[in-house]
């Protein structure tokens, strides 16, 4: 009998519900985006996000079941993002998941949102352990070593701004719409790295990241040029900024994979959709890590979605890591230390 998990994701500004079979097949993946609602503010407003989740969550559940062509009686469990994320947004998804699980007497599975991003790669091909995961998103930049299914060890993380945060702040200075990562990526491919922004901690022996200095350097450079009346080339600014981010990410990731005995490298999170990063990492892995396979989730699964939560929940269900009805949101949830 196949395992069917109804998965709910509401950690930020996407309301999503999916039905996933055996942790590897997407039967439905409904996503209600809020981007247009937040664009006028230049970023995510938590209260606006929460209100949208309230409006969309039951509709998404109904659509996901209908699209998957399954009945509630066919489901094996309900999974939900416990954290990290916006506490108000998380609570709405958790309340919906608990209500659904209780009403239909189904097991409830709490899922770490970042684990979900990693397991989005499982829809491409089976994961082979040990592996390394580079997580790059709006709120996180981490290198995670996985010795086996469900085992996570952070070996490097950002000490300040995440890569995605830096993209959005730089996009604001360039006058781009939120979220601006995709547009910066497109502009970067039309320009050259002529401004040579700093590559923070690129030669340090550890695997931590820092993008706050790059962001500040970029902003100060643009403001100083404006005060002097100089005209800067937007495409070259984007290319120079992106080259700095990519150089650091690629350098640290390749070194981490050389130090740890890994068979696969998974690149996941919203910034994993960046074409510049995909190209640079693919080339670097081919040159430096001939025995390591690099996997990028499909573009539609790089952003927040419930299918990835269902894939991660498959592992948690096998381990019987279930929750009771007192499950609460954990907006600062982190990976547990390696056993």
**How many Å apart are CA 123 and CA 85, to the nearest integer?**
23
Residue 175 labelled as part of a binding site: no
DSSP type of residue 177: P
117 carries a ligand binding annotation: yes
CA quadruple 186, 192, 283, 260: dihedral positive or negative?
negative
Annotated binding residue 305: no
149 carries a ligand binding annotation: no
Q: Is 83 annotated as a binding residue?
A: no
Contacts of 128 (CB under 8 A, 6+ apart): 263, 264, 293
Q: Whole-angstrom Cα distance, residue 81 to residue 233?
A: 42
Q: What is the DSSP letter of 29?
A: E
291 is in an annotated binding site: no
Ramachandran area for residue 78 (φ above 0: left; ψ -120 to 50: alpha; else beta): beta
Residues with Cβ within 8 Å of residue 193, at least 6 apart in sequence: 236, 239, 240, 243
CA distances from 194 to 21, 113, 121, 232, 234 (A): 49, 37, 35, 11, 11
140 in a labelled binding site: no
Q: Annotation-wise, does 229 bind a ligand? A: no
Query: Could you give the CA distance from residue 2 to residue 215 in angstroms, rounded to a whole number?
Result: 48
Question: Was 150 annotated as part of a binding site?
Answer: no
Query: Phi/psi zone of residue 152: left (φ > 0), alpha (ψ -120 to 50 degrees), beta?
Result: beta
Residue 171 CA to residue 165 CA, distance in Å, equals: 10
326 is in an annotated binding site: no
Binding residues for Fe cation: 113, 117, 304
Binding residues for substrate: 135-139, 168, 181, 185, 274
Binding residues: 113, 117, 135-139, 168, 181, 185, 274, 304
């Amino acid at each position: 009998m196949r395992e069917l998990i109804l998965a709910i994701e509401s950690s930020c500004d996407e309301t999503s519900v999916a039905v996933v079979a055996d942790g590897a097949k997407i039967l439905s993946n409904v996503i209600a985006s809020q981007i247009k609602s937040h664009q006028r503010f230049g970023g995510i407003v938590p209260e606006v996000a929460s209100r949208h989740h309230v409006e969309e969550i039951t509709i998404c559940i109904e659509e996901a079941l209908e699209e998957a062509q399954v009945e509630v009686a066919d489901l094996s469990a309900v999974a939900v993002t416990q954290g990290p994320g916006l506490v108000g947004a998380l609570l709405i998804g958790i309340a919906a998941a608990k209500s659904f699980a209780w009403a239909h007497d189904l097991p409830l599975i709490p899922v770490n949102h970042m684990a979900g991003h990693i397991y989005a790669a499982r829809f491409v091909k089976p994961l082979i352990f040990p592996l390394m995961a580079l997580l790059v998103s709006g709120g996180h930049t981490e290198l995670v070593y996985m010795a086996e299914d469900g085992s996570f060890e952070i070996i490097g993380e950002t000490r300040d701004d995440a890569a995605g945060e830096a993209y959005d702040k730089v996009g604001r200075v360039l006058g781009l719409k939120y979220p601006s990562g995709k547009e910066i990526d497109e502009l970067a491919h039309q320009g050259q790295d002529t401004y040579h922004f700093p590559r923070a901690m690129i030669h340090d022996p550890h695997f931590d990241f820092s993008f706050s200095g790059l962001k500040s350097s970029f902003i100060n450079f643009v403001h100083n040029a404006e005060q002097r009346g100089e005209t800067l080339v937007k495409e070259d600014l984007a290319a120079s900024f992106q080259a700095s981010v990519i150089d650091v990410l690629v350098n640290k990731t390749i070194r981490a994979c050389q130090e740890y005995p890994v068979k696969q490298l998974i690149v996941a999170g919203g910034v994993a959709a960046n074409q510049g990063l995909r190209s640079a990492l693919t080339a670097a892995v081919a040159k430096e890590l001939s025995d390591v396979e690099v996997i990028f989730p499909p573009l539609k699964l790089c952003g927040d979605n419930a299918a990835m939560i269902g894939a991660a929940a498959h592992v948690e269900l096998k381990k019987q890591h279930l929750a009771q009805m007192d499950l609460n949101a954990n907006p600062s949830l982190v990976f547990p230390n390696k056993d």
